[in-house]
């Protein structure tokens, strides 16, 4: 019996079991975790994400929540209008918005968790193994990965290095899968960050 099953007993849903398997495998293959450490990390992350969703009232959002957000924005509901307008200003389409918000709440939260794990791993490697300063290590991370968050983060305005909206994730990932990591690495050499490259590609109709 896995650690996940021992912790959650028979209460885990199909989506939880699927997420557990995906991320345990990912941590082992990509981040070099041992199976035991990966199982521990993912089990704890799922428990944390479920608690956050329950506390914030998002755990039981409907499966078509993204479609509902678009429709509510069209009907003039203020919160939905803010979500949609912020994403659209950064080049997200209605399909992008639906794709992100139609994901189960746990899936969205685990995406955020895993991104932090992998980015921090690269940061520590650059700083501790390659001897870079914290600033240079962070710059390497920003070159290698898209950074998501609040695109209106004023700490980096008006730079194209600002966080990308969550809703662009699917399109950015598909673009990388289509062209390959080597192409992306070559393209980002000409920009201050992966985010700057993404914004340029959107403006030029390439992404």
pLDDT in tens, 182-194: 999 999 999 999 9
Residue 124: is its pLDDT beyond 50? yes
Tell me if the bond preceding 77 is cis, omega within 30° of 0.
Answer: no
Q: How far, rounded to the nearest angstrom, does the alpha carbon of residue 151 sit from its chain's CA centroid? A: 14
- Kindly list the domain boundaries of the chain, sorted by start residue: 1-60+106-145
Q: What is the pLDDT of residue 4?
A: 45
In the three-class reduction of DSSP (H, G, I as helix; E, B as strand; rest coil), residue 20 is classed as helix
Q: What is the DSSP string of 81-107?
A: HHHHHHHHHTT--HHHHHHHHTS-HHH
Q: Considering the chain, what percentage of its residues have pLDDT values greater than 90?
A: 85
Environment class of 59 (CB within 10 Å of its CB; exposed 0-12, middle 13-18, buried 19+): middle
CA–CA gap between residue 197 and residue 160 (Å, rounded): 8
- Of 6 and 111, more confident: 111
Give the containing element (helix H, strand E) for 113: helix 105-124
Q: What is the pLDDT of residue 156?
A: 65
The mean of the pLDDT values for the chain is 91
Q: Mean pLDDT throughout 86-97?
A: 96
pLDDT at 3: 46
Give the per-residue pLDDT at 9: 45
List, for residues 29-59, the tens digit of each pLDDT value.
988 899 999 999 999 999 999 999 999 999 9
Q: What is the C-alpha to C-alpha distance for residues 113 and 187, in angstroms, rounded to an integer? A: 27
Q: Which residues pair with 164 in a beta bridge?
A: 148
Evaluate if residue 26 carries a pLDDT over 70.
yes
> How far is it, in rounded angstroms, from Cα 136 to Cα 132?
6
The answer on pLDDT for 6 being more than 70 is: no
Q: What pLDDT, on a 0 to 100 scale, did the predictor assign at position 155?
A: 77
Q: What mean pLDDT is predicted for residues 84-96?
A: 96
Q: With b meaning 16 or more CB within 10 Å and e meaning fewer, what string describes 112-138?
A: bbbeebbbebbbeebbeeeebeeeebb
CB count in 10 Å sphere of residue 85: 10
Is pLDDT above 90 for 61?
Answer: yes
pLDDT digits (tens, 9 = 90+) for 136-145: 999 999 999 9
Region 174-186 average pLDDT: 94
């Amino acid at each position: 019996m896995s650690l996940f099953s021992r912790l959650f007993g028979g209460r885990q849903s199909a989506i939880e079991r699927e997420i557990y398997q995906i991320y345990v495998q990912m941590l082992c293959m990509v981040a070099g975790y041992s199976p035991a450490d990966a199982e521990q990390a993912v089990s704890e992350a799922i428990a944390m994400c479920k608690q956050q969703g329950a506390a914030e009232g998002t755990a039981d959002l409907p499966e078509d929540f993204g479609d509902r957000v678009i429709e509510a924005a069209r009907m003039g509901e203020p919160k939905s209008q803010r979500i949609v307008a912020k994403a659209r200003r950064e080049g997200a389409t209605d399909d992008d918005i639906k794709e992100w918000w139609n994901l189960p709440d746990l899936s969205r939260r685990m995406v955020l968790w895993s991104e932090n794990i992998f980015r921090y791993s690269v940061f520590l490697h650059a700083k501790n193994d390659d001897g870079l300063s914290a600033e240079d290590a962070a710059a390497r991370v920003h070159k290698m990965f898209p950074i998501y968050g609040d695109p209106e983060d004023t700490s980096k305005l008006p730079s194209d290095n600002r966080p990308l909206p969550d809703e662009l994730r699917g399109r950015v990932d598909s673009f990388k899968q289509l062209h390959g990591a080597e192409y992306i690495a070559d393209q980002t050499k000409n920009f201050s960050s992966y985010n700057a490259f993404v914004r340029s590609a959107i403006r030029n109709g390439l992404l």
